[in-house]
Amino acid sequence: MSAEYMHIGIPITNKKPGMTYSDGLKIWMSNPDDYDYKIEYLKFEEGAPFPEIMHKNPHIAFRVDSIEKYMADADRVIFPPTEIGPGTRIAFVVKDDTILELYEQK
């Protein structure tokens, strides 16, 4: 298995300048590359498909070679694999009381 650190995701309640909106996911997101520490700020809108635990807790994102391998090693899956673009999927799991984003791009 191979995982590469991408960013830390921090939920916020007020939008920051430069955030973009994902209509399908009902979430405002900052670009982690805009911050020295690779921070992705997230503002969840009503109806966002993400579980409540993500609205209040940070997550750490990793690029992985296979979402399924890491899901099998997780304590629980809180957001199943979802295609967010051609050949790109994300999933969120909890491992050792930490929320992890698994990002797979084929």
pLDDT of res. 24: 86
Please check the confidence at residue 1 and state whether its pLDDT lies above 70.
no
Domain boundaries, the chain: 3-105
pLDDT of res. 62: 98
Write out pLDDT tens, residues 44-74. Answer: 999 999 999 999 999 999 999 999 999 999 9
Per DSSP, the residues of 1-65 read --EEEEEEEEE-SSPPTT-EEETTTTEEE--GGGSTT-EEEEEEPTT-SS-HHHHHS-EEEEEES
CATH fold for the domain made of 3-105: 2,3-Dihydroxybiphenyl 1,2-Dioxygenase; domain 1 (3.10.180)
> Taking a C-beta distance cutoff of 8 angstroms, is the pair 105, 86 a contact?
no
- Report the DSSP pairing between strands 98-105 and 88-95: antiparallel
Please check the confidence at residue 90 and state whether its pLDDT lies above 90.
yes
At 70 the three-state DSSP class reads: helix
